[in-house]
Amino acid sequence: MGAGAFGTALAVALARDGRDVTLWARDLADMATTRRSHRLPDVLIPEGVTITSHLPDAGEADTVLLAVPAQTLRDVLIAYEDVLRSRTLVACCKGIDLTTLTGPAATIARTLPQATGAILTGPSFAADIARGLPTALTLACGSARTGLALQETLSTGTLRVYRTTDTIGAELGGALKNVIAIACGVAIGAGLGDSARAALMTRGFAEMQRLAAALGADPQTLAGLSGLGDLALTCTSELSRNYRFGLALGAGASIDTTLTVEGAATSRAVTRLGHERGIDLPICAVVAALTDRDISVETALQTLLSRPLKEE
């Protein structure tokens, strides 16, 4: 579900590997004839993928990948409850819901408790997956048995899926790395240099670990693909929309508001979560304030540099 960049890329990769795939688009436009998503225009969707805007066409499909933006996941689950509630639902989005302050796996568990929920996350650009470039992902599912089955279902010759039962660690890694990527983009966009970016990545990772530990995640999960792996990719590549959003903020350039930039809303959500739980998340808070245009880059920098000195 979701025929944007990631949903399309996953559909293409799985169909190419022989899976029977239906790709659901909210708005079909001319997709069924052009066999292209406007979010991934260079990629031709193979005939093996059934493209539809009518969800019941998914028929007996037992696994549904939800590749819609994190802030819309809850609405999608509610709107299509009848079709979704008895299936295995794999959230493919990265973010924290601003209303409930939950990640995608927890959002599924709360909204459709009868469904089996899982999350697919980790360092992977849609364009790379669609081109068949080698990619490693994390599949997190509270049920070890379902996780094992999903790992088999979703792995292909070039998509290597690792599994874990730590859904909270996996969803926090994917959500928080986007916030830190915005911070890194700002640093580079404002000309603060590669050393500043390395500091933000490292201290940002410390914030990720702190929040994850407080919410009951296994610290090892954060050191894996869903945390450190995706942090490394997103903080260093101009293919990342979150990083590019930060670059524009830092350079004072115009922002493309049509793109999905998950870290913007998530910076606000995690800042609230931090306040509620009494957890210090200074980089996330600065990103939220920058995103809301509440502070300048200069103030953001001074805020971080003037904090009390501490042990690492």
Ligand X SMILES: NC(=O)C1=CN([C@@H]2O[C@H](COP(=O)(O)OP(=O)(O)OC[C@H]3O[C@@H](n4cnc5c(N)ncnc54)[C@H](O)[C@@H]3O)[C@@H](O)[C@H]2O)C=CC1
Catalytic residue list: 177
285, HSE (Cβ side, Cα atoms, 13 Å): 15
Q: At closest approach, how far in Å is the CB of 82 from ligand 13P?
A: 30
Nearest Cα neighbor of 161 from 131, 128, 126, 124 is 124
Q: At closest approach, how far in Å is the CB of 243 from ligand 13P?
A: 6
Give the integer Cα–Cα distance in Å for 254 and 242: 14
Which of 15, 76, 217, 300 touches ligand X by CB under 6 A? 76
150, HSE (Cβ side, Cα atoms, 13 Å): 30
CB nearer ligand X, residue 25 or residue 300: 25
CB nearer ligand X, residue 205 or residue 243: 243
Please check whether residue 164 is in contact with residue 147, taking contact to mean a CB–CB distance below 8 angstroms.
Answer: yes
Q: At closest approach, how far in Å is the CB of 89 from ligand X?
A: 14
The response to whether 230 counts as a known ligand-binding position is yes
Please check whether residue 154 is in contact with residue 247, taking contact to mean a CB–CB distance below 8 angstroms.
Answer: no
The response to whether 53 counts as a known ligand-binding position is no
CB nearer ligand 13P, residue 166 or residue 230: 230
Q: Is the C-alpha dihedral spanning 52, 54, 59, 62 positive or negative?
A: positive
Compute the C-alpha angle 260/261/262, nearest 5°. 105
CB nearer ligand 13P, residue 71 or residue 240: 240
User: Interface with ligand X includes 243 (CB under 6 A)?
Assistant: no
- The DSSP letter of residue 225 is I
Contact set with ligand 13P (CB under 6 A) = 94, 123-125, 178, 181, 230, 233-234, 240-242, 262
Site residues for ligand X, window 3-32 (CB under 6 A)? 3-7, 26
Binding-site residues for sn-glycerol 3-phosphate? 94, 122, 124, 177, 230, 240-242
